[in-house]
Amino acid sequence: MLEITNLHVHFGVIHAIKGISLTVNDGEIVTLIGANGAGKTTTLRTISGLKKPSEGTIFFDGRDITSLSAQERVKLGISQVPEGRRVFSSMTVLENLELGAYLRKDRDGIAKDLDMVFERFPILAERRKQQAGTLSGGEQQMLVMGRALMSRPKLLCLDEPSMGLAPLLVQEIFDIIKDINEKGTTVLLVEQNASMALQIAHRAYVMETGRITLSGTGSELMQSEEIKKAYLGG
């Protein structure tokens, strides 16, 4: 579904991504883990078209999307939940969700997906008229996930969805991600919570200062000594 080859990204003179290659197959959950500043967010932003790579290609569904605009990528079915719960704070929960379906024209389908999101996140249905900025951190995370689902994506990219949430809520978020995937959406998950991410992921990549240093299935990496030491606290 997604195939990244030899991707390089620069910020001025800073060489943030140094030639990574990465694949996500149909129906998988793939996780990308790594320390602060490794380049995970930059990778996702490049996939979504918010940042232009200096070299390398990105293919989606067999099509070269490297030079497409962010808008066209959303149209093709790539949706991203950005880092840090970027809700449209002074807009209502409902307006936020409607914006998720910005490019869609099928009113019936949108209404159906809205019901689906409300079913998945009942708290959002309760708060539909509330300003998004006044939601709690956990509720905002659910809102941005619901908003991303409203475009009916083929590939859902999530950037640290568990950041700053209480353990119980983290578990809930991971269960939801797993469920979204089981209902047919491919997932690319960026996480610092490596143990949780590896548990639900089919495959994983480890990133260090702009390079991919390890890859394998979720369970393989969970057994790896290096990973245990560096990311799993033991």
Ligand X SMILES: Nc1ncnc2c1ncn2[C@@H]1O[C@H](COP(=O)(O)OP(=O)(O)OP(=O)(O)O)[C@@H](O)[C@H]1O
Binding site for ligand X (CB under 6 A): 11, 14, 16, 34, 36-42, 83, 192
Contact 159, 40 (CB under 8 A): yes
Q: How far is the CB of 38 from other proteins (least distance, A)?
A: 20
Under rule CB under 8 A, residue 48 binds other proteins:
yes
Other beta carbons within 10 Å of 56: 17
Q: Which of 88, 103, 92 is nearest to 152 (CA)?
A: 103
Closer residue to other proteins in complex, CB, 50/230? 50
Quick check: 55 binds other proteins (CB under 8 A)? Answer: no
Which CB, 95 or 208, lies closer to other proteins? Answer: 95
Taking the complex as a whole, the smallest distance from the CB of residue 218 to other proteins amounts, in Å, to: 27
Q: Is 46 in the site for Mg ion (CB under 5 A)?
A: no
Touching Mg ion, residues 78-97 (CB under 5 A): 83
Round to whole Å and give the CA distance between 59 and 120: 31
Alpha carbon distance 188, 191 (integer Å):
10
166 binds other proteins (CB under 8 A): no
Residue 216: CB atoms within 10 A of its CB come to 16
Residue carrying structure tokens 């970027």: 86
Helix 167-182 and helix 137-149: axis angle, to 10°? 10
Q: What are the residues binding other proteins (CB under 8 A)?
A: 45, 48-50, 69-71, 74-75, 79-80, 82, 85-91, 95, 98-100, 102-103, 133, 137, 140, 147-148, 151, 164
